[in-house]
């Protein structure tokens, strides 16, 4: 029976031997990083020949380092620190305890981070990183509140680990390394599209005081105009009382549902007919107005939808919904929104009657509105696609980590 406990649930078929239990201190040689004290002394940082300096915040949750460390260690301080070669396995020992990285560049390391310098037996470096990561996940599950408050080098040395032979280690390490590469790739693609959208929102809509956008489809040349939002839409709010929920019926939306406009909360048809004389229809815009203020989304369903007072319903009057929703994301509109938001309220909010008073820039050309709206809808679809793929890969990795390690 004991041998069965030392075999993972999921395994490459060519391996059948049970994994061997070892103490961490029997397998690895490790040490903390170091940094001269006091931390705040300016001469320890930057200057000529300064090098990357890894602290807890520089270790990501995808098992590598940030591209550029927050601090650089000066040439003067370097002899008083510890250097980790490219490819070293690090683990954080303070703050976010148990974050693991395989360094993609050489760097000096702070005392809050531990470096595995070498091994006393044949160990695959990639596999070792995942073993340490999983061990800290396991220890966190056992800790009060699910969080490790502190860890010493001595306690670390006493960790029980289960290790397969080197060939199986290498195969497992390579598998998870490939998954992490895919996750990083999709994260970069997602970040790129988000950055592009953010940039184009500021370029394809006029800046404050201007009537022409910086970037424009070439067939459009007329000046834009500044209007009050209330001239372009009807503005309504939802029910002010928390309704009685049921398992099915009319979907009920609140501020936390703005990203997807999907919810698992429902109200009865009777409650909907009683409380909603005006309700969201396809092509309308919902905007958050309590807690999170100013996030928008376009309603795309033709089914009836109920909504809470934390959302404002905007019904466009002859203006493209996707164009208007994105115009409301620009710096110009968001600045006007902030000026009318009651930031001292808990939670912060904007009163419904204030929303229509905010200035917004629009083009009166229906075709230009439509082209801009379609452009940003395409970017949103790309963002959703990359996010979905990223979430799938992270879920796959989590499941495989649970099944491929003992």
CA distances from 172 to 65, 104, 138 (A): 21, 19, 19
Q: What is the mean pLDDT of residues 181-190?
A: 92
* CATH number of the domain that residue 108 is part of: 3.90.220.20
pLDDT of 1 strictly over 60: no
CA distance 213 to 135: 54
pLDDT at 261 over 60: yes
- 217 shares its domain with 229: no
* Contact status, residue 396 vs residue 179, Cβ threshold 8 Å: yes
Res 154 pLDDT > 50: yes
Q: Residues 88, 103: contact at Cβ < 8 Å?
A: yes
Distance between CA atoms of residues 88 and 107, nearest Å:
10
Per-residue pLDDT tens for 356-368?
Answer: 999 999 999 999 9
Question: Domain check: are 92 and 36 in the same one?
Answer: yes
Query: What per-residue confidence (pLDDT) applies to 4?
Result: 60
Do residues 117 and 28 both lie within one domain?
yes
In three-state secondary structure terms, 331 is helix
Q: Is the dihedral of CA 209, 210, 211, 213 positive or negative?
A: negative
One domain, residues 95 and 214:
no
Are 295 and 288 in contact, with CB atoms under 8 Å apart? yes
Q: Would you call 406 helix, strand, or coil by DSSP?
A: coil
pLDDT, residue 152, reads: 77
CB neighbour list of residue 373: distance below 8 Å, 6 or more residues apart: 320, 321, 322, 323, 324, 325, 326
Is residue 62 scored above 90 in pLDDT? no
- Residues whose CB falls within 8 Å of the CB of residue 145, separated by 6 or more in sequence, listed in order: none
Mean pLDDT of 281-302: 96
Q: How many domains does the chain contain in total?
A: 3
Domain housing 74? 20-163
CA dihedral of 268, 273, 278, 279, whole degrees rounded to 10: 20
CB 288 within 8 A of CB 337: no
Q: Encoding tokens for residue 308?
A: 């809470």
Same domain, 306 and 355: yes
For residue 94, the model assigns a pLDDT of: 85
Q: By 3-state DSSP, what share of the chain in percent is helix, strand and coil, each rounded to 5?
A: 40, 20, 40
pLDDT value at position 2?
43
Give dist(CA 253, CA 263) in Å, integer: 6
pLDDT of residue 47: 93
pLDDT at 372 exceeding the cut of 70: yes
Half-sphere exposure for 44 (CA within 13 Å, toward CB)? 15
Length of the chain: 406
- Burial tier of 380 (Cβ tally within 10 Å: 0-12, 13-18, 19+): middle
What pLDDT was estimated at residue 146? 65
Express each pLDDT in 21-30 by its tens digit: 999 999 999 9
* pLDDT at 385 > cutoff 60: yes
On whether both 157 and 25 belong to a single domain, the answer is: yes
Instruction: Find the mean pLDDT for residues 132-141.
Output: 85
Give CA separation, 151 vs 32, 142, 156, 372, in Å.
12, 14, 7, 54
pLDDT tops 90 at residue 143: no
Q: How many CB atoms lie within 10 A of CB 102?
A: 20
Pair 30, 157 in one domain:
yes
DSSP 255-299: GGGTTT---S-EE-HHHHHHH-SS---TT-EEEEEESEEEEEEE-
Q: Picking from 33-42, 198-207, 242-251, 311-320, which range would have the lowest pLDDT averaged per residue?
A: 33-42
Q: Which CA distances in Å does 164 have to 17, 130, 172, 341?
A: 8, 13, 10, 59
Please determine, for residue 114, whether its predicted confidence score (pLDDT) is greater than 50: yes
Residues 29 and 122 in one domain: yes
Q: Is residue 137 pLDDT above 90, yes or no?
A: no
pLDDT tens digits for 317-357?
999 999 999 999 999 999 999 999 998 989 999 999 999 99
Same domain assignment for residues 35 and 97? yes
3-class SS of residue 90: strand
CA neighbor of 405 nearest in space, from 91, 77, 127, 34: 127
Structural contact between residues 101 and 133, judged by C-beta atoms closer than 8 angstroms: no
Structure tokens, 30: 């490790």
Last residue of a domain, one of 137, 163, 189: 163
Q: Check which CATH number belongs to the domain holding 370 and give it.
A: 1.10.287.1120
239 and 306 share one domain: yes
Determine, yes or no, domain membership for 336. yes
Q: Are residues 273 and 349 in the same domain?
A: yes
Which pLDDT score, from 0 to 100, does residue 263 have?
96
3-state secondary structure (DSSP) of residue 47: coil
> Could you tell me the pLDDT band of residue 259, with boundaries at 50, 70 and 90?
very high
Q: What is the mean pLDDT of residues 160-178?
A: 94
Q: Tell me what the mean pLDDT of segment 281-299 comes to.
A: 97
- What are 192-209's pLDDT values in tens digits? 999 999 999 999 999 988
* Greatest pairwise CA separation for the chain in angstroms: 80
For residues 259-271, average pLDDT:
96
Residue 185 above 70 pLDDT?
A: yes
């Amino acid at each position: 029976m004991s041998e069965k406990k030392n075999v993972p649930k999921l395994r490459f078929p060519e391996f059948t031997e049970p994994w061997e239990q070892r103490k961490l201190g029997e397998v690895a040689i490790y040490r903390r990083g170091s940094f001269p004290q006091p931390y705040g002394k300016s001469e320890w940082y930057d200057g000529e020949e300064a090098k990357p300096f890894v602290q807890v915040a520089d270790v990501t949750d995808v098992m590598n380092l940030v591209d550029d460390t927050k601090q650089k260690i000066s040439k003067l301080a370097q002899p008083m620190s510890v250097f980790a070669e490219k490819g070293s396995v690090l683990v954080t020992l303070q703050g976010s305890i148990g974050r693991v990285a395989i360094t993609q560049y050489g760097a000096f390391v702070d005392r809050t981070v531990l470096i595995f310098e070498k091994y006393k037996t044949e160990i695959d470096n990639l596999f070792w990183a995942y073993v340490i990561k999983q061990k800290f996940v396991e220890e966190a599950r056992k800790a009060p509140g699910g969080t490790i408050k502190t860890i010493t080098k001595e306690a670390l040395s006493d960790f029980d680990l289960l290790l397969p032979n080197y060939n199986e280690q290498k195969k497992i390490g390579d598998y998870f390394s490939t998954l992490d590469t895919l996750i990083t790739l999709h994260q970069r693609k997602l970040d790129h599209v988000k950055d592009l959208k953010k940039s184009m929102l500021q370029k394809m809509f006029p800046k404050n005081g201007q009537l022409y956008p910086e970037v424009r489809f070439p067939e459009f040349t007329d000046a834009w105009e500044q209007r009050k939002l209330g001239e372009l839409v009807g503005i309504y709010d939802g029910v002010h009382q928390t309704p009685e929920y049921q398992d099915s019926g009319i979907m009920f939306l609140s501020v936390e549902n703005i990203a997807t406009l999907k919810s698992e909360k429902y109200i009865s048809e009777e409650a909907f007919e009683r409380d909603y004389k005006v309700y969201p229809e396809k092509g309308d815009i919902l905007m958050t107005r309590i807690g999170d203020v100013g996030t928008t989304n376009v309603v795309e369903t033709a089914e009836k939808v109920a909504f809470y007072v934390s959302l404002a319903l905007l019904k466009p009057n002859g203006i493209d919904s996707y164009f208007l929703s994105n115009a409301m994301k620009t710096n110009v509109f968001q600045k006007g929104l902030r000026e009318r938001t009651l930031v001292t309220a808990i939670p912060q909010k904007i009163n419904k009657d204030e929303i229509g008073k905010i200035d917004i820039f629009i083009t009166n050309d229906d075709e230009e509105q439509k082209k801009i709206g379609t452009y940003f809808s395409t970017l949103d679809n790309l963002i959703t696609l990359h996010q979905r793929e990223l979430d799938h890969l992270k879920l796959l990795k989590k499941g495989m980590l649970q099944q491929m390690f003992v």
